[in-house]
Chains A and B, each alone.
Chain A
C-alpha cells in the first residue's frame, strides 16, 4: 500500500461538497489579499475567516496542527533573526544583541499571515482531491501544460514511490544499515541516481505508449463541473468575507483618519 495519502481530501463536509473551481478561486484571492496586507488587524481578520472555513470543513484538528507545525518550523527561524536585525527602537538588549520593537512586530505579522494563508489553503484547497484540482484548474483556463504537469507528477509519484520502496527493500535485505560513513553516502547516491535513471526510462515508455495511441500533443478532459446552489451561497458569503478583510486593511485606517480630522 502506498504511503502517499491525501487525508484532508477525504471527507463529506459542506466544504468538501463544494465545486472545486469556486474553492480555488476564493483560496487564491484570499491568499493574495492576506499576503499584501500590511496591518496585523487585517492578518487577524484573515485568520478568523480561515478558521471559519476550517470549522466548516470539519478536518481532524490534530492532523491540521501537525501540518501547521511543519510550516511554523520555518517561522521559528524568522523569530531568531528578524527581531535582532530589523532597525528600530531597541526594547531589549543582551550584550551586543539588541531586539527592536519593529523587528518583533514584523515577525509577529509574518507568523499571523503565513498561518492564516496556510489554514485557508488547508480548508479550501487540500479538501479537493488532486485529480479534481487538476481538472478544476484546467476549467479555470490555467495553461494546459501546467495542469498536465500537475496531473502527471501526481500520477507517477505513486510509481516512483513504488520503485523507491523496492530499491530500499533490495538494499535492506542485503543488510544495508544507514551509518555515517562513505559507504552509506555512496549507497544513497546510487539510490538517487537509479531513481532518476528509471524515471527517465519510464517517461520515455509513457511517451511511446501515448504515441501508439495516436497522441498529437492534445489532452482531453471529460470531467464536467456544475455550479450548485450551495456554491453560489459559498461564493457570495466568502466574497463578503474577503471584502471585509480588505475593508479592515484599507477602509478602517481611512475612516480612523477622518474621525481624527474631526
Chain B
C-alpha cells in the first residue's frame, strides 16, 4: 500500500467560546493521486479542516499526519507549508505585493531560491496559467477573476505536492471558471476542493465527501 497523503486521527477542535466542537473524534484520509471534493453546509467545518491541515489552527486533541509525518509544532507546519499549497477563498487576502511578478516570486524566494530562479519559476507558472504579460500589473488593480488566477499562480509557483482550494469559484464568471477547470485537470498533483458548486466539482473531482463532525462520508 502506498503512503497516505493526509491522515487525521481522532481530531477534536472547538473554536474558543463556541458551544459545540466543529470536529469531535474526527477521522479522515486522503489517498495519493486522489482528487477530492469537500461539501457540506455553511459552518460544517470545511475551511476549518483546511486551516487545521496547514497549522493555521491547532486542534485540542488528535493527530495529523501529512506525507506520513506527524505534524504538531510550528516547525512541523513550516515544513508542511513548503509542500502543501492553500488557495484562500478571497484573493485579496493572498496578494499583498505591489506587482504580480513579485507576488508570484514571493513563495519561491521564501523556499530559499535565488532571485533569478524565483523569477524564472514565477514566469513559467504564469505562462502555464495563461498570465503572460501580467508581470508588472499592480495586484490590487486586477479584476476579481484575474486576482484569483494570480493567487493560484502564487501557490503553484511553490511547486506543491498537494493543493488545497477553498471555494475557488466564489465570485468568478463562467469564463474564468472554465479556465480554472482546465488548469486543475492539467495538474499532476493531488488536490482537495471545498466548494458548493456541483457542476464545478463534477468536472474537477471524481469523488465528493460530506464533512461531518466525526468523519468525511463519501457521497
Chain A residues at the B interface, C-beta cutoff of 8 Å: 131, 134-135, 151-152, 155, 158-159, 202, 205-206, 208-216, 218, 220-223
Tell me, in angstroms, the Cα distance from A208 to B82 when the chains sit together.
Answer: 14
* B56: nearest chain-A partner, CB-CB: A208
**Complex interface bits, B88-106 against A, C-beta within 8 A gives 1, otherwise 0:** 1010111010110110011
| A212-B81 in contact given A159-B140, A220-B109 (Cβ < 8 Å) | yes
Nearest chain A CB to B92 CB, angstrom units: 5
Do A214 and B158 contact each other (CB < 8 Å), given the known contacts A155-B140, A209-B94? Answer: yes
**A218 CA / B101 CA spacing, docked (Å):** 17
Between A131, A151, A158, A222, the greatest number of chain B beta carbons within 10 A of the residue's beta carbon is seen for: A222
Q: Are A214 and B88 in contact (CB under 8 A)?
A: no
Closest A residue by C-beta to B135: A222
In the assembled complex, 27 residue pairs joining A and B whose CB atoms fall closer than 8 Å, in A order, are: A131-B99, A151-B98, A155-B96, A155-B140, A205-B90, A208-B51, A208-B56, A209-B86, A211-B54, A211-B56, A212-B54, A212-B86, A212-B88, A213-B106, A213-B110, A213-B158, A214-B81, A214-B107, A214-B110, A214-B158, A215-B110, A218-B109, A218-B110, A221-B102, A222-B101, A222-B115, A222-B119
With both chains docked as a complex, state the minimum distance between the C-beta of A201 and any C-beta of chain B, in angstroms.
10
Inside 8 A of B109's CB, which chain A residues have their CB? 218, 220
- Kindly state whether residue B155 has any CB partner on chain A within 8 Å: yes
Residues of B within 8 A of A209 (CB): 86, 88, 93-94, 96
A220 and B98 contact, CB distance less than 8 A: no
Rounded to whole angstroms, the CA-CA distance of A183 and B141 in the bound complex is: 36
Interface secondary structure of A, over-half rule: helix
Q: How far is the CB of B160 from chain A (nearest CB, A)?
A: 10
Tell me how far the C-beta of B64 lies from the nearest C-beta in chain A, rounded to whole angstroms.
15
Report whether B110 and A216 are in contact in the complex, using a CB–CB cutoff of 8 Å.
yes
On whether the beta carbons of A214 and B96 are closer than 8 Å, the reply is no
Report B-chain residues with C-beta under 8 Å of the C-beta of A205.
88, 90, 93
**Docked-complex contact A210 and B96, CB < 8 angstroms:** yes
B12 within 8 Å of A (CB atoms): no
Q: Shortest distance in angstroms between A49's beta carbon and chain B's nearest beta carbon?
A: 31
Q: How far is the CA of A21 from the CA of B60 in the complex (A)?
A: 51
* Top 9 closest pairs, chain A to chain B, by CB: A214-B110, A131-B98, A213-B107, A205-B93, A209-B94, A158-B140, A220-B109, A212-B86, A208-B56
Task: State whether A222 and B93 are in contact (beta carbons under 8 Å apart), knowing that A151-B98, A212-B86 are contacts in the complex.
Answer: no
- Which of B51, B81, B93, B115 counts the most A-chain CB atoms under 10 A from its CB? B93
* Chain A residue at minimal CB-CB distance from B77: A211
Per the 8 Å Cβ criterion, residues 140-160 of B in contact with A are 140-141, 154-155, 158
Is B78 interfacial (CB 8 A cutoff)? yes
Q: What residue in chain A is nearest B122 (Cβ atoms)?
A: A222
CB distance from B166 to the nearest CB of A (A): 11
Q: Using Cβ atoms and an 8 Å threshold, which residues of chain B touch A220?
A: 102, 105-106, 109, 115, 118
B202 within 8 A of A: no
B127 — which chain A residues lie within 8 A by C-beta?
none
Also in contact, A213 and B90, with CB within 8 A (given A220-B102, A222-B115): no
Contact B98 A155 (CB under 8 A): yes
Instruction: Quote the shortest CB–CB distance from A79 to chain B (angstroms).
Output: 41
Q: Please, which residue of chain A has its CB at the minimum distance from the CB of B82?
A: A214
The smallest C-beta distance from B130 to any residue of chain A, in angstroms, reads 21
> Does B139 have its Cβ within 8 Å of any Cβ on chain A?
yes
Q: How far is the CA of A220 from the CA of B96 in the complex (A)?
A: 12
Q: Mark B165-200, 1 if CB is under 8 A from A, else 0.
A: 000000000000000000000000000000000000
Q: Does B111 contact A (CB under 8 A)?
A: yes
**In this assembly, does B31 line the interface, its C-beta being within 8 Å of a C-beta of chain A?**
no
**A222 contacts which chain B residues (CB < 8 A)?**
99, 101-102, 105, 115, 119
**Which B residues touch A212, using CB under 8 A?**
54, 56, 81, 85-86, 88
